[in-house]
Amino acid sequence: MQNSGLSTPCPTHSRDRPFAAIRVHPAAGRPQRGWLIGAGRPTPVAIGRGGLRADKREGDGGTPKGIFRPVRLWWRSDRHPRPRTFLPVRAIKPTDAWCEDPADRRYNRPITLTTGASGDRLRREDHLYDFIIEIDHNTRPRIAGRGSAVFLHLARANFGPTAGCVAMTQPAMLRLLQRIGPHTKIVIG
C-alpha cells in the first residue's frame, strides 16, 4: 500500500475525555470529611454531618453510599461564566428549587417555586450552590423518605459538614467539571 502522505491523527489525550469513575472515601477519624479521587489525584471534600450511610433517610444528614451517575450541572450564570464540562448544563433561575417533601409527588425532583411554596432553593445568597452537580441518587425508583437533593456542590469556608452532599472548593469543582461526564461513575463509600 502506498503512503498517501496524510498523517494519522494522534489519539485524544486522556485530559480531553471524561473520567470513567471518581471515588469518594471518608477521611480516617473524621466522619464529616473525605477524599474525592479522580485519576489518582486526591481532593479534600466535606460530607454529611451523619457521615456515609448505606441506609440514607430524609433529614439524617448522611451522605449515601453507592454508585451514582451525574445528571447535569446547575450553575449561577449571574456570578460565573459557563464552565467547561461534558455534562448537560442549566443556568439556575431565581425560582428553581428542589422538592424535599416525601409526601409530594414531585419528591426529589427540581421544581419551580411560587410565592410561599417550600423547597430547597437552588439560588442562594451564599455560594454553596454556585455550581451543583445533580446525581441520580434515589431517582429510579424514587422512594419517599430515602433522601433528596444529594448533590456535589461548593464547600463552606470552614469546610463544615453538609446535609448529605459532597462539597469541595471552587477550584476543585472547576477541575472536576472539566473531567466529569454523564457516564462517569461516582462511587461513594
| Residue 2: exposure state from Cβ atoms within 10 A (0-12, 13-18, ≥19) | exposed
Write out pLDDT tens, residues 36-75.
999 778 999 999 999 999 999 999 999 999 999 999 999 9
Of residues 11, 6, 25, the one with CA closest to residue 187: 25
The secondary structure element, H or E, covering residue 169 is none
DSSP for residue 48: B
Contact call for residues 72 and 88 (beta carbons, < 8 A)? yes
Cα 120 to Cα 8, 19, 123, 159: the distances in Å are: 51, 29, 9, 20
Write out pLDDT tens, residues 73-87.
999 999 999 999 999
Q: How far apart are CA 83 and CA 73, in angstroms?
A: 9
The CATH number, out of the four listed (3.30.30.10, 2.60.40.10, 1.10.8.100, 2.40.440.10), of the domain defined by the range 18-188: 2.40.440.10
| Residue 13 scores a pLDDT above 80 | no
> In degrees to the nearest 10, what's the CA dihedral of 60, 63, 67, 70?
110
Q: How far apart are CA 96 and CA 72, in angstroms?
A: 14
Write out pLDDT tens, residues 160-171.
999 999 999 999
Can you give the pTM of this predicted structure? 0.89
Contact call for residues 90 and 73 (beta carbons, < 8 A)? yes
Q: Cα–Cα–Cα angle for 66, 73, 103, nearest 5°? A: 60
Mapped onto helix, strand or coil, the DSSP state of residue 171 is helix
Q: Tell me the longest C-alpha to C-alpha distance in the chain.
A: 74
